[in-house]
Chain A
Amino acid sequence: MAPPAKIRLSTTPTRQDLEALRLGDIVHLDGLMYTAREGVYKRALEEQANIPMELPRESAANFHCSPAASIDADGSFRLGAVTATASFRFEKWLGEWFEKSGARLIVGKGGMSSATYKKHFVPNGAIYLTTVGYGTGALLGRGVENVEAVHWEKELGLAQAMWVLKCRDMGPFIVASDLEGNCLFERENAKIAENLHRAYEGTRPAVLKRYGETDDRSDELIG
């Protein structure tokens, strides 16, 4: 099978740039990208703190990530590897975040649901890029030309701070949603589910079920 196409994409992409992307395409990024996860969302949205960047002019790419990095005594940064964290936990902030930040690329681990894409991404002309592996932290680290700034480090700590990364040919990332809100992972899961029964042949569900995984409070749990 031919290796998937590799595409260079700006972190302030146009609508046309994003229209050209297909689920499963391999993308490398150029431009500024900032990290924002629960700490930044809470501070910017719940505490209404002023975002210390001009968004989306400077960057329309939000990375769900905390880098392996340290700040030296002289204030300079040392950044090693960069890996995303699982995005599904951040859904509840995304609607408001899109409004405030104008983001058009959400970059993270594992994607989100097609329902989330349709509700929040499509109206904002945004797509989702997933990191690869997901452990390709050293490759991604190579793609960071410079750490431009670290905002809110005192308030949020190193892991939750807002890191501003200057990216050059940073990748690989995989296109996991498109402008219509289609979801790569759901497409793959559907294909896998078709054949899953074969692996499950000759197995049996546990005799004691778990309480609390459904909302049926009358569950007897045995048998």
Chain B
Amino acid sequence: MKEILVCGGTGCISGDSRLVHDALEQELSRQGLEAEFKLKYTGCHGFCEQGPVILVTPKDNFYCKVAPQDVPNLIHQLKEGKVYDELLYVEPTTNERILTRHDVPFYKKQQRLVLKNCGIIDPENIDDYLSSCGYKSLQKVLKLQPEQVIQEIKTSGLRGRGGGGFPTGTKWDFARKSVADNKYIICNADEGDPGAFMDRSLSEGDPHAVLEGMLIAGYAIGAQEGYIYIRAEYPLAVKRLSIAIEQAKARGYLGKNLLGSKFDFSIKIKQGAGAFVCGEETALMESIQGNRGMPRPRPPYPAVKGLWDRPSNINNVETLANVPVIMEMGSERYAQIGTEKSKGTKIFALTGKVNNTGLAEVPMGITLREVVFDIGGGVSDGKKFKAVQIGGPSGGCLTEEHLDLPIDYDSLLEAGAMMGSGGLVVMDESTCMVELARFFLSFSRHESCGKCTPCREGNTRLLEILQRIVEGNGEMEDLDRLQSLGENIIQSSLCGLGQTAPNPILSTLKYFRQEYELHVKNKVCPAGVCKALLSYKVMEDKCKACGLCKKSCPTEAITGEKKQAHKIDVSKCAQCGVCMEKCPFDAIIRG
């Protein structure tokens, strides 16, 4: 039977994929085709840019930007055993229509290991998960000794995908060795980085894989209870995880004496209110306990004294979703993927000025160039590549010279960025790096919990300095202040938020110092972004007095009669740039 897999990830839903699904359902039933085609509402396919997307098996024909009104035609073609050309992906450089998903450049260089079920199975149906080897890894694990399980994870080389990159097997070992009446497994699904959505997509698209990872971790360290800490802004993920928990309970994958063993395990969901700092492990545990989400110093580490003062092991969603994969394929085979010190794959959320935005899972060690240009399809609107911000507000920017850098934990750290949770924002020549740093800093400042002095007070001061610079009031000493205060905040803050918040400033200062200097010394924003530094001028010799600029100016700053070169009154100009866009003769310049 052919399957029609409609993307039901949050991105496609916002593009009305639910209506597409319902239209397909009606059309199939109207034509009595239910026996021929199985319709599924799946998790995210990753290529959000092209949503709503549909995949049709067995040939994996990939349809993009499907609207409900396309459905009759689509079904008509499918019924005939044909492909509906109109909706196939068009390769922008060659204008060629691409028939199957694996030939779409966005997917070509991906290695969808952890995302293998996302977009394929119905996440609200446990049978679908079971039929794609679901819970097989758990069965395998229950026949091993916990120490053997930990050894497998150690051999696989798996490192935490939540940002820190700590070896997962070692962490489990610590928790295993702590003695207590109860232990906890915590799944960190807080995902607070702006622009990151891999954990959400995994939870929405393959919730049982996350549960299975938690179960295996629980068995390995000797825990009986698990918590999933997830932000309340992820209602669909919460819903699908809740359904998965209920179904797993009903089938005996959660509860007492699992699959006839002596292992008991239960999972609760705790919804967070969405503070970024609650993704930090100690703050997260405070939040589960009903306290204010503020980090506490470590040691004691969670493996010794965590949730409710019991030994706890906390892992990221993606880390946990890797676990069943490793157990299924074997740790040694898994360890062949990636680089020497960074094994396996990593999911990136590709956003910004790139043609193909979406979610891409790539083997570690792939170069930045491959991700941005092959998978991402290059910079959008034919503009020039400038930099990427990798690792979100805690990360740093990398430039053209880093394009051939292999993406792994250590190379990124060395280059002044970090893996972070996997946010990758592409920037083109029209991005102002000072403004970019200001943007990320305003996020970190807003999200600081306020507990420790450097982060609470210091980030506000950094932001104030940046604000001055983008407004044209900066002085050269400000650049030194950014550097030295930034370094001190990194050195002395209590938790990872403060310890990384100045990174976007320090890395842009390092690679784009000249841009800062132009803002400060020349009061110029070379990217043409910082409004206070922009002025618009009509070049008299080019002006044909058509009057279009005058009509479009919202503040009536432009004057001029017929056959007379027009003029912009700087005191009235709001620097919106509309006139420049409207002028058919390129007579208006920005300086």
Tell me whether A and B are bound partners.
Answer: no
